[in-house]
Structure 1
Amino acid sequence: MLQTPPQKASLSAMRHCPHRSGLKISSPACPSRKRFPSWVTKRLPFLASGAGLQMVVGIPSRRLGSGKGIHYNDSIKRARAFLKSFSRRLPSTPCSGTALAIGTEARALYNAGQAEGLTFWAPNINIFRDPRWGRGQETPGEDPMVASKYAISFVRGLQGDSFDGKGRVELKVSACCKHFTAYDLDRWKGVDRYSFDAVVSLQDLEDTYQPPFKSCVEQGRVSGIMCSYNQINGVPNCANYNLLSETARRLWGFNGYITSDCDAVSIMYTNQKYAKTPEDAVAYSLKAGWHCSSENWRNSLPLSKSKVTSLGVIGPNANNAEILIGNYNGPPCNLKSPLQVLQSYVKDTRYISGCDTALCNTSHINEAVQLASSVDYVIMFMGLDQTVEREDFDREDLVLPGMQQSLVSSVARAAKRPVILVLLSGGAVDVSFAKDDEKIGGILWGGYPGQAGGLAIAEVIFGEHNPGGRLPVTWYPQQFTKVSMTDMRMRSVPSSDYPGRTYRFYTGEQDHLPQKEGKSLIPNRYTRGTNYDISILGKEDCDKLEFSAVVEVENHGPMDGKHTVLLFLRRRHYEDGWPRKQLIGFESVGLKAGGKAQVVFVLNACEHLLHIEKDGMKVVDDGSHFLVVGEEQVEFNVTS
């Protein structure tokens, strides 16, 4: 339970060593009982920001945060810029290789004297609850299990940990899971993250918001946690003893450091009015426990290099290389825009932006239409950028900005063949108009794919790589904007037309979705394995009750490729507050054209079959359950 700390202790009454004594606080002649409070009081403001703190008694100035954390010189000028979190595929250990590379590069830069520290404030594992959130691009998506697996792999990889046995005694670098917890609003219709009080039920807290952080601590063995700006049920997260000490430290066994987000301590006084003085804000924090997808509807993909004699590239994101790396990045190596890459694929490639920026307040539709009608194929690069979604700036709409939709429709009507629409964005965009347009042959969502994103997109479009397309977030219709972004409830409320959030609970309109789970360029067929071993569960300890589910996957398409098998749990009777379905396993498999593979999921009753009650308690339900993969499902019963 999240509650107000038991006591509000003030440090403002600390006595200083009298100035008239002429003694400095570092002087032994000043009694320690007076010297120490004076020293602490002078340094309290610097617990949250090291700026301006000069060297004292031979100790160098401390700098808490430095943004990119790297300064470049002639020897090392660039760093690798990987794709954003949600753009990554889902192997059994998502992002571990990427994190290993980041940690190794960071340590190398530090050894070369170009890094300002080895403490990294990553990963961001908040749940992408609402598509309008400007920072959703930093997260692994909306599913708690995916976010949990991502957190474990990223943290272990970054810190140089192994994936078996005990953790490292010495870290390669230090990771920090953020933002703890239920943080997913920055600035929306006059409500900002500094003053937002997130009203969260115990059920949603345990079921949705906390699992990634629990996994980050218990299985990822993270060395740091960052508490977030917002309040939960009236208590600032960075002052919440139950959250930081009782939950993270006692229940989960966290023994690392806890830091606040930038100014999250000072806003307890300035914005939230929770603390009466700045010193009180620091006191509360110290007492709380911290230290300083792809779509292929109409067989338009892939294109053939030999058959594309002329190519039209249109859109505000086509020749914008910076958009590929999203926010929070260093200067990358060899950054090329999608246009630059496509020009190397097709000699006769012609380009027009159509809009000056992603805002698309002014457009050049006539010129774009003329270009589209003169070439064999057209690829459009539309979507969002950092002027539309970013930290401290959430969206108010889900449609394409400005005149983008008009540009897409006009170009599609003029083109000789169905156009390929590539969307670059962090949050989901309502593109139902494109889904229903027969002149749009395919939609590829690329997220913010990193410095090699232009090449990756080209390889997908021209069939050199077959992605296992999976959407990490739900794509809502524009009417979802009627739902207040400040409403933290995950579950639907039919009596008030509240539709719920994420694929687990959303009950609203879904016909507009490109496809809820995404799709690869190869068709896959699932069949139920013959050796399901699902036992009826008795009264014994459910931790010991495991069973296997075997799925056979067949690639009956013409291309080799990778495919992520998603295993869901569904209950026969959907009662109030239960997820409509819940992801309980995923595995990436490589399949040759015409090939088959078996995927084995080992499931545990306590971990995979439970749900969260309204009081936050975890329960394994009796009755009929289904394991679901694609359109296939198998039923089994649970008895206690």
Structure 2
Amino acid sequence: MADTYQPPFQSCIEEGRATCLMCSYNEVNGMPSCAHHDLLQRARKEWGFKGYITSDCDAVAVIYEDHKYVKSPEDAVANVIKAGMDINCGTYLSQYTQLALGQGKIQEEDINRAVSNLFSVQLLLGLFNGDPAKGNYGNLGREDVCTLEHRNLALDAARQGIVLLKNENNLLPLNRMAVTSLAIIGPSANSSSQLGGDYTGVPCNPTSIFEGLQHYIKTNYASGCGDTRCDSSKGFAEAVRISREADAVVVVAGLDLSQEDEGRDRASLLLPGRQMDLISAVSTASEKPIILILLGGGPIDISFAKVNPRIGSILWIGYPGEAGGQAVADTIFGEFNPGGRLSITWYPESFISVPMNDMSLRPDPSRGYPGRTYRFYTGEVVYEFGYGLSYSNYSYKFILVPDKVVLSTDTNKASPSKRLTSQTLDGIEYMPVDEITSCNHVKFEVPIAVFNHGDMDGSHVIILFGRASAPIRGAPHKTLIGFTRVHTKSSSAVQVSMGIDPCKHFSIVNEHGLKILPLGTYLLMLEGLEHSISIEL
């Protein structure tokens, strides 16, 4: 918990000042999350959370109806309110709170606390400042929807999310002077609705990928499959025919909401149905290597495409939204230089054999368990976390980075400083982080020079990792320290800076859930570049 699941919530509260938390359906150490007093109160007492805590929808009901954790609906309501939950997405609080109060399971002060937490956020938002029509949002109307500013934001978001996974022989970007006709294939290629993920709102002037490409060049379309399930090869012949006649071929494959959404999980990491057969047929028929575009919110095992020389370029676009069609077209024809990175490890199909209810992150070779996430997984990958190419080649240089950090207990010169005493774990010295009072004073910046060696300007994501230079039991292979996006001019360099907090970025959590900072040498890693830094007393 302290090592992996809690840090994102903690940073949102401490650094982002989040004022709402949601407790989930699952149990944590045998106790439903929304009824877990220690879990909910830690956010307030240790992280300084000020706001309200809501349940996920019907997460209170499942405590009684599914978990069978309590004997009555009133008990479920009493447990969550006393644990620190304030509002329920669902009907249990409205139905059973009065009954729980009458049965003495909760007190009025419990309800008052929940209401106060909710009202505190509403007060911050100014919702009680007189007539809402005269407030900040009172004058909004139809003219404030789908503005140029909003559409440009949607386009920028779609562009930034595109990840270039393969680009053999610089197939992309296409040259409009050399390519006069294009074939686009796939059931999602001519559907703007397929570009939105689960819980998508009403889009503004949505553009399909087919429509986006038509703005650049004459484009022919064939679905190839009836839908994303692709359970028939009836449309293959037409797809093959137009592929043979075109100067360039784009195949749109992947997933949609018939394969994955909140209530639907995939049982396979492969492309659905006969999509792989369609891609192979088209790539064989095309005169030149094809461009493969992948839709979807999760990893896909496309090992076949990764090694197939007839598939020259691969773009993963996620669910890019209303401007996705234009963003893809702009990228294919070089109006935008892709710089996105994968936000998750792309596992091979064999990973589905890992038990889904085994939440262990660290590998266990004795039972063939490979671990989970980029931090601990030891198996083969299709693409690693953070992977992403560009039309430009980049190199980096660390600038004046310290090679040593010295810890102390007291940085106040006016008071005597007591000496830190390290402890030992498996022969490695370490310090409990809560005993290091100099954490804020040993933070430092890492200036980085970023060189764009290409002939295109680029939007580029820099990812900095860290790890201990020597193996430490239970420590991750590497840890993401941070990332930032920079805009670079062709054949030029820019400088950026990334902050390092040794107590945060180099510490690990022991089996008791306590943060410890092993002493010794650590590596800062930026692509193939490394810098050593020593943590000492």
TM range (shorter): 0.7 to 0.9
Determine if the alignment matches structure 1 residue 473 to structure 2 residue 344: yes
Q: Does 1:603 align with 2:473?
A: no
Task: Give per-residue Cα distances to partners, 1:573-611, cap 9 Å, x unaligned.
Answer: 222321101111222111111111122223222122212
Which residue of 405, 408, 411 maps to 1:536? Answer: 405
**Residues of 2 paired with 1:528 and 1:544: CA distance?**
21
Tell me the residue number matched to 1:584.
481
C-alpha distance 544-503 of structure 1, shift in aligned 2 (>3 A): same
Residue 369 of structure 1 and its aligned partner are, at CA, apart by 1.3
Aligned residue for 2:167, secondary structure, equals coil
Q: Aligned in 2, Cα 1:555/1:355: closer, same or farther, shift over 3 Å?
A: same
In the TM superposition, what are the counterparts of 1:53-202 in structure 2 within 5 Å? none
Partner of 1:622: 519
Percent identity at matched positions? 46
Residue 415 of structure 2 is matched in structure 1 by none
Secondary structure at the aligned position of 2:288 is classed as coil
The equivalent position to 2:223 in structure 1, one of 344, 353, 368, is 353
The alignment status of 1:386 with 2:253, answered yes or no, reads no
CA distance in structure 2 between the aligned counterparts of 1:606 and 1:514, rounded to whole angstroms: 26
Amino acid at match of 1:459: D
TM-score relative to the length of structure 2: 0.78
Do the aligned partners of residues 212 and 508 (structure 1) sit closer, same or farther apart at CA in structure 2, a change above 3 Å counting?
Answer: same
Instruction: Write out aligned runs for 1:238-637 (5 A).
Output: 238-245=34-41, 247-292=42-87, 293-298=163-168, 299-347=170-218, 349-363=219-233, 364-510=235-381, 512-513=382-383, 517-529=387-399, 531-540=400-409, 541-637=438-534
CA distance in 2, matches of 1:528, 1:290: 47
Separation of aligned partners in 2, 1:219 and 1:575: 29
Contact 1:534/1:548 (<8 A) preserved: no
Q: Give 1:514 deviation, angstroms.
A: 7.5
Displacement of 1:404 after TM fit?
A: 0.3
**1:295, 1:514 within 8 Å by CA — same for their partners in 2?**
no
Match of 1:73 in 2: none
Task: Calculate the aligned-residue CA RMSD, in Å.
Answer: 1.4
Report the Cα offset of residue 499 of structure 1: 0.8
Report the secondary structure of 1:373's partner residue.
helix
1:639 and 2:434 are equivalent in the alignment: no
Classify the secondary structure of the residue corresponding to 1:503. helix
Verify the 8 A CA contact 1:626 1:633 in the aligned structure 2.
Answer: yes
**CA distance in structure 2 between the aligned counterparts of 1:237 and 1:328, rounded to whole angstroms:** 24
> Structure 2: how far apart are the matches of 1:399 and 1:383?
9
Superposition deviation, residue 516 in structure 1: 5.1
Tell me, in whole angstroms, the C-alpha distance in 2 between the residues paired with 1:621 and 1:467.
Answer: 38
SS of the equivalent of 2:470 reads coil
1:456 Cα offset (Å): 0.5
- The answer for the alignment partner of 2:32 in structure 1 is 236
Alpha carbons 1:432, 1:514 under 8 Å: kept: no
Cα distance change, pair 401–465 in 1 and its aligned pair in 2 (3 A)? same
Higher relative contact order (CA 8 A, sep 6+): 1
Q: 2-side partners of 1:228 and 1:268: how far apart? A: 11
Alpha-carbon distance change, 336 to 499 in structure 1, aligned in 2, over 3 angstroms: same
- Equivalent-residue separation in structure 1 for 2:221 and 2:279 (angstroms): 15
Partners of 2:512 and 2:275 in 1: CA distance: 46
Matches within 5 A, 1:1-12: none
- Report if the CA contact (8 A) 2:343-2:386 is conserved: no
* Count of matched residue positions in the alignment of Structure 1 and Structure 2: 432
Asked whether the 8 Å contact 2:345–2:384 carries over to 1, the reply is no
Deviations 1:65-103 (A, max 9, x none): xxxxxxxxxxxxxxxxxxxxxxxxxxxxxxxxxxxxxxx
| Structure 1: runs of 5 or more not aligned | 1-204
CA distance in 2, matches of 1:423, 1:395: 16
The answer to whether the 8 Å contact 1:318/1:337 transfers is yes
Q: CA distance change for structure 1 residues 212 and 551 in 2, over 3 Å: closer, same or farther? A: same
Structure 1 letter corresponding to 2:393: P
CA distance in 1, matches of 2:6, 2:225: 41
* 1:479 counterpart SS class: helix
Alpha-carbon separation, structure 1, partners of 2:286 and 2:384? 22
3-state SS of paired residue (2:78): helix
TM-score, structure 1 length as denominator? 0.66
The alpha-carbon deviation at position 385 of structure 1 amounts to 0.3
Amino acid at match of 1:538: L
**Conservation of the 8 A alpha-carbon contact between 2:488 and 2:494:** yes
Q: Which has the higher strand share?
A: 2
* d(CA) in 2 for partners of 1:528, 1:294: 26
CA distance in 2 between counterparts of 1:389 and 1:504 reads 25
